[in-house]
Amino acid sequence: MYDKDPKTNEEARRIERTTFSEAIKSRFEIMDIEAFSICQRYGLPVRVIDFFTKGNLFDAIIGGKTGTVVLPD
């Protein structure tokens, strides 16, 4: 997740960690808001990754720093 669209803004910065409330409030268009709400309700952390970049899924599985961790509030 980024604070701005990295495809159109070279100043976009990757967000390493955030909370569900912050992600919902900021309206990141990454994941369905309802899905975020369900994960928050049940206390399930989520790692958002770019699935189409080679190596990202593997890195996330082994505990790397790929993507953004979204934590319950």
The reply to whether 9 falls in a domain is no
CA-CA distance, 26 to 62, in Å (whole number)? 29
The reply to whether 66 falls in a domain is yes
The reply to whether 31 falls in a domain is yes
pLDDT per residue rounded down to tens, the chain (73 residues): 888 888 899 999 999 999 988 887 877 666 677 888 889 899 999 999 998 999 999 999 999 999 999 999 8
Q: Coil, helix or strand for 38?
A: helix
Q: Provide the 10 A C-beta neighbour count for residue 64.
A: 13
Look at the chain and report how many structural domains it folds into: 1
The reply to whether 5 falls in a domain is no
The domain in which residue 29 lies consists of 17-71
The reply to whether 49 falls in a domain is yes
